[in-house]
């Protein structure tokens, strides 16, 4: 009996064959596309060397979706796309349409169902984000709620093309930085401001002390003897509240309702177009958690976006715009205070100083 059960199990079948999911027009023109055109912020067309056309309608998604959402998009795909659809690397949904006549009816159907069409061109695309309070134990804030609040406020920029270039916003609920916050135009990152609390009793039973010590980026954790038994101590002078020790040791919780919140980062990008890929840099060290709408975060993002829209040249990403006008001017026009926290003091921090007399006075 047991042997029979074992035999029936399917394992190591690997990735599914994607060819099964490619529509005929994609199969016929695979690797033979000539050019594409953006028709509006929700629609583009790819034209193949053969002259075949493939229309794409892009729709916003909250990423965390129900089975009912999945069935909704399946119904649309069946009605207009022969059942074919895909998701983007920013978690939008794309309907792949062969017949141009289906484009407008499909969009009308989506709008009737309350879905958002947009996200192509010089827009604010979907916000790449993480688990937050919905599913993660190390989160310093909630992902879905902040994203919803920001996208409600920036909705016009998802559905209308009116920015100098594309703006990528990303969110991570702690500085594990799952996703792409380290290299986004605007990034929102969950942040702690207090050291971990050590539960000596549980630590002895639950944690491997050497790996807990090794997890600290500032070497702030040292072995210690507590009540004659092995434990750790934290040098609170040098602890930077990263939460890495909690990740490896459950007895060092760091979440703190009053002192957790979010930091805002700007100017990162991953594309190589014009300038090299670059990290996002600190704009605002801390904004308190303020659920359910996080007005402080929403306002900060809006301020950056407004100044960028006013000041950037066509085609300039946020980081390129700041490089051109300089960081002092960025802080001046956004009104964000420049503080000691903006000066890098980790490892190669000194390489980020201004070794010149260059200043825009």
Partner 1 sequence: MGKKHQTPLLDELKKGKWISFVREIERAAEKSERTEDLLGQVEESYHDKVNHWKHGGMAGVKGYGAGMVGRFSEYPDKYPGIKECHSMRIIPSAGFFYNSDFLRKLADISEKHAGGLLNFHGATGNIQILGMSQAEAEDVFQAVAELGFDLGGSGSDLRTPSCCAGQARCEFANFDTMKICRHLTEEYLDELHRPAFNYKFKFKFSGCANDCVASAARSDLAFIGTWKDKIKINQEEVKNYKKKFNVQKYVLDKCPTKCMWFEGENLVIDDENCVKCMHCINELPKALKAGDERGCSILIGAKAPLVTGPRMGMMLVPFYDVNEDAKNDYEWIKSLISNMWEFWDEYGVSRERIGELIGRVGLNTFLEGIGLEPIPEMVEHPRSNPFIKFTEDEEE
Using CB under 8 A as the binding rule, whether residue 213 contacts partner 1 is answered as no
Q: Distance between CA 152 and CA 218 in Å, rounded?
A: 39
Q: Which of 242, 220, 218 lies closest to 232 in space, CA to CA?
A: 220
Binds partner 1 by CB under 8 A, chosen from 2, 3, 51, 89 = 89
Phi, psi of 187 (to 5 degrees): -130, 145
In angstroms, give the least distance from the CB of 219 to partner 1.
Answer: 10
Using CB under 8 A as the binding rule, whether residue 152 contacts partner 1 is answered as yes
To which H or E segment does residue 72 belong?
A: helix 67-81
Q: Distance between CA 277 and CA 303 in Å, rounded?
A: 24
Using CB under 8 A as the binding rule, whether residue 128 contacts partner 1 is answered as yes
Using CB under 8 A as the binding rule, whether residue 75 contacts partner 1 is answered as yes
Q: Which is nearer to partner 1, 155 or 286 (CB)?
A: 155
Using CB under 8 A as the binding rule, whether residue 12 contacts partner 1 is answered as yes
Binds partner 1 by CB under 8 A, chosen from 2, 3, 7, 13 = 13
Q: What would the x/- binding string for partner 1 be over residues 231 to 270, using CB under 8 A?
A: -----------x-x-xxx-x--x-xxxx-x---------x
Binds partner 1 by CB under 8 A, chosen from 24, 105, 223, 277 = 277
Using CB under 8 A as the binding rule, whether residue 3 contacts partner 1 is answered as no
Q: Distance between CA 290 and CA 238 in Å, rounded?
A: 28
Q: Which of 294, 309, 192, 209 lies closest to 243 in space, CA to CA?
A: 192
Binds partner 1 by CB under 8 A, chosen from 4, 7, 9, 358 = 9
Using CB under 8 A as the binding rule, whether residue 130 contacts partner 1 is answered as yes
Q: Which is nearer to partner 1, 51 or 114 (CB)?
A: 114
- Concatenate the DSSP letters of all residues of 231-290 into one string: EEEE-TTT-----HHHHH-TT-----TTT-EEEEEE--B---SSS--B--EEEEEEEE--
Using CB under 8 A as the binding rule, whether residue 326 contacts partner 1 is answered as no
Q: How far is CA 63 from the centre of its chain?
A: 11
Binds partner 1 by CB under 8 A, chosen from 86, 204, 281, 309 = 86
| Binding residues for partner 1 restricted to 284-313, rule: CB under 8 A | 289, 291-293
Q: What would the x/- binding string for partner 1 be over residues 157 to 196, using CB under 8 A?
A: -x----------------xxxxxx-xx-------------
CA distance to 89, 127, 352, per residue, from 188 (Å): 19, 10, 21
Kindly state the tokens that stand for 9: 């199990």
Q: How many residues in the shown chain lie near partner 1 by CB under 8 A?
A: 115
């Amino acid at each position: 009996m047991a042997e029979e059960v074992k035999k029936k199990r399917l394992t190591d079948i690997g990735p599914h064959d994607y060819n099964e999911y490619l529509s005929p027009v994609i199969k016929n023109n695979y690797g033979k596309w000539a050019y594409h055109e953006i028709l509006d912020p929700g629609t583009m067309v790819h034209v193949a060397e053969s002259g075949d056309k493939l229309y794409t309608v892009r729709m916003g998604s909250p990423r965390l979706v129900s089975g009912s959402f999945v069935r909704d998009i399946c119904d649309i795909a069946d009605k207009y796309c022969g059942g074919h659809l895909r998701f983007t690397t920013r978690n939008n949904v794309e309907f792949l349409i062969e017949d141009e006549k289906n484009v407008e009816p499909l969009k009308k159907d989506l709008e009737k169902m309350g879905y958002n069409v947009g996200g192509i061109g010089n827009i604010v695309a979907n916000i790449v984000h993480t688990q937050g309070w919905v599913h993660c134990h190390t989160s310093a804030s909630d992902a879905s709620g902040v994203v919803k609040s920001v996208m409600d406020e920036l909705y016009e920029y998802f559905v209308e093309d009116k920015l100098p270039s594309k703006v990528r916003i990303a969110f991570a609920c702690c500085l594990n930085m799952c996703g792409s916050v380290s290299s986004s135009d605007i990034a929102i990152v969950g942040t702690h401001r207090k050291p971990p609390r050590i539960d000596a009793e549980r630590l002895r039973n639950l944690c491997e002390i050497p790996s807990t010590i090794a997890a600290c980026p500032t070497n702030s954790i040292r072995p210690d003897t507590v009540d004659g038994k092995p434990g750790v101590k934290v040098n609170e002078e040098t602890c930077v509240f990263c939460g890495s020790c909690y990740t490896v040791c459950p007895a060092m919780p760091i979440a703190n309702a009053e002192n957790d919140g979010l930091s805002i980062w700007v100017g990162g990008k991953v594309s190589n177009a014009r300038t090299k890929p670059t990290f996002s840099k600190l704009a605002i060290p801390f904004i308190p958690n303020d659920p359910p709408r996080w007005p402080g975060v929403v306002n900060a993002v809006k301020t950056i976006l407004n100044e960028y829209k006013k000041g950037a040249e066509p085609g300039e990403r946020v980081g390129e715009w700041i490089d051109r006008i300089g960081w002092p001017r960025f802080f001046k026009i956004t009104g964000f205070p420049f503080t000691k926290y903006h000066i890098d003091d980790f490892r190669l921090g000194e390489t980020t100083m201004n070794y010149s007399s260059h200043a825009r006075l």
